[in-house]
Amino acid sequence: MRVRLNIRWKILLIVLPLLVTTLLISGLAAVFSAETGITKVAIDFLGFKAEELKKNADNQWSLLLTSNLTGNDKYVEVTRAGIADFARSLIRSDSELIFAIDAEGKLAMNSRTIDWKPGELEALQAMRKAGRAGYNSFTLEGIERVGQLFEFVASAGPTETAPRKTAFQWYVVVSEARDTFFQGVREINTQNYFILGASLLFAFVLLFFFSSYLTRPVSKMVRTMEEIMVDNNLERRVEVEFPDEIGRMADTFNQMLAQLGMANKQIKNFAFQSVLAKRKEQKIRAIFQKYVPSDVIDAVLGHPESMLVGTDRAIAILFSDIRGFTTISETMEPDQLVKTLNRYFSVMVDIVIARGGTVDKYIGDAIMAFFGAPVRTENDALLSVITALEMTEGLKMFNSEQLAKGRVEFKIGIGINFGKVTVGNMGSEKKLNYTVIGDNVNLASRLEGLTKLYHQQLLFSDSVYQQVGRYVYCRMLDKVMVKGKTTGESIYTAQKSLTEAEKIGWATWHSGLEKYYARDFTGAKVLLQETLDRWLPGDHMAEQFVSRCDQMLATPPPPNWDGMTVMHEK
């Protein structure tokens, strides 16, 4: 027997499955997308904290390694305390918890008091022995938690008398309560399910009361829903042809699609663009603004594919070092030394970044920076020299603070070279550094080492002089062949301004230097002695070259003499 259905049930049987299927697919897709996106953001944020804590621990321990202080228990304890303080600074809610277990399975560091339950510490130890790292879930204080786990090993480097040893070894856990961690996901899903349920209920009510109108608009509605099922395009709309019940149903259906489309767009845009993109960009800016200027960050973020690839280019490399830092460190308590060094770095690095430089790395108490990568300027060498001069001025301000606190003054040396190097991301898949390598980098380091010998705060090469000689007062000091090089190099220093006496003195000095290299040692001595007696009293370089003239007059150099000073040490 054939089952006879009225037109209402025919419409319900045809339209309702299509509508329900479309809404369920779209709604569940939105729910899944939001849950996946928000969960990934949350896990990335937790991983970011763990990465920042590990970087901080590595940097603090590297400072001890570089300063050869890993054998000093007091400095090691200060480093542990510093890592713990940094861990506590990462906490943003009462439910967050950061702690570490030492090699003996004891609690070594914690951001707050932990209410251990039986077996929980043992379970973490078992995870550690199994090599569990990265994102994991576990039970602590009787509740489920999620966290990022990693092993931190503080190893003292080997020496001639002692093998490599481990100062301390921590199993670090950066965690959050599972309920708090997934709270945002639950709230968004609840809202999505409510919208989906309300939409389904509303659609069913509309179809039940207006299904008696089996007309062309209904057929168009069916076709529209079928098209939506095919391409999931919620921008489609049903044409409202008549101002009756069917027309109102079509209009209501259009409104429902519009609201559902808006909700779907808001979820996707908010979850994937606003939250993920903005947070990632903020993280990148927060990290790199400590090392490079904001306009450099804008350029890198705007064209990341072209900024961080390896390439050969001419840039200016700057090395700065504190004189006698080991002696200074022996006169200060560890915490006082760390605070003083951090203050010094803050003053110097602010100057580098303000002039568009990129801080490459800290080498103990030394700073390495470069100008011209990843973004070039019209005169990177000039910016590096201006930066060096401003660093010497900043040192005066820093030393005033030191004297006011009854502490010893710092003395620095700065070396700059300009030339072609290889610049780009270098390292392994797990850790990359944006840095520079090449022979011109080594020359900049050698020049910084010569500042002490020549009694100058700043030395730079002839390639730098060719770029900056028209803009700042430059003084040629000597011709040298640094260790490891087979060719000589003229070296210079510079000042922002000169007194009238200094202008005459520098001019007289250069005239004397010209006669010296022309083998006119008698004429050179007259001019150099005049420089010393009249214009630059006590000038170290004038004293040295007067003495050299006496030696050359007493023992004339061979015919192939070129005036080059050969350095046998770095």
pLDDT reported for residue 392: 97
Task: Write down all domains in the chain, each with its CATH number in brackets.
Answer: 7-33+184-285 (no CATH), 46-177 (3.30.450), 294-497 (3.30.70.1230), 499-565 (no CATH)
pLDDT reported for residue 450: 96
Is the Cβ–Cβ distance between 46 and 172 less than 8 Å?
no
DSSP H helices, 405-539, are 439-450, 462-468, 500-517, 521-530
pLDDT reported for residue 186: 74
Is the Cβ–Cβ distance between 384 and 464 less than 8 Å?
yes
pLDDT reported for residue 388: 98
- DSSP assignments along 399-428, one per residue: HHHHHHTT-PPP-EEEEEEEEEEEEEEEE-
Residue 564: pLDDT above 90?
yes
Mean pLDDT over 215-225 rounds to 67
Mean pLDDT over 46-66 rounds to 85
Residue 307: pLDDT above 60?
no
DSSP-derived secondary structure letter, 485: -
Residue 309: pLDDT above 70?
no
Mean pLDDT over 36-47 rounds to 74
How many of the other CB atoms lie within 10 Å of CB of 251?
A: 14
DSSP-derived secondary structure letter, 482: -
pLDDT reported for residue 63: 83
pLDDT reported for residue 397: 96
Residue 442: pLDDT above 90?
yes
Residue 163: pLDDT above 60?
no
Residue 210: pLDDT above 80?
no
- Looking at every residue in the chain, the average pLDDT score rounds to 83
pLDDT digits 0-9 by tens, 311-370? 899 999 999 999 999 889 888 899 999 999 999 999 999 999 999 999 999 999 999 999
DSSP-derived secondary structure letter, 489: E
Structure tokens at 556: 């004339």
Residue 432: pLDDT above 70?
yes
SS (H, E, C) 70-90: CCCHHHHHHHHHHHHHHHHHC
Is the Cβ–Cβ distance between 332 and 340 less than 8 Å?
yes
Structure tokens at 280: 């990632």
**Sequence-ordered list of residues with C-beta below 8 angstroms from that of 196, at least 6 positions apart, any chain:** 23, 24, 27, 28, 31
**Sequence-ordered list of residues with C-beta below 8 angstroms from that of 95, at least 6 positions apart, any chain:** 176, 177, 180
Residue in 448, 164, 481 with CA at minimum distance from that of residue 321: 448
Percent pLDDT > 90 in the chain is 40
**Sequence-ordered list of residues with C-beta below 8 angstroms from that of 366, at least 6 positions apart, any chain:** 319, 320, 321, 322, 448
Is the Cβ–Cβ distance between 172 and 154 less than 8 Å?
no
d(CA 453, CA 464): 20
- The Cα-based distances of 363 to 74, 322, 444 in angstroms read 22, 11, 14
pLDDT reported for residue 340: 95
Residue 252: pLDDT above 80?
no
Burial class (CB within 10 angstroms; exposed 0-12, middle 13-18, buried 19+) of 414: buried
Mean pLDDT over 140-153 rounds to 89
Least confident of 217-226, 339-348, 403-412, 434-443: 217-226
Question: Which of left, alpha, beta for 416 (phi over 0: left; psi -120 to 50: alpha)?
Answer: beta
d(CA 465, CA 459): 10
Percent pLDDT > 70 in the chain is 78
Q: Where residue 222 falls among pLDDT bands split at 50, 70, 90?
A: low
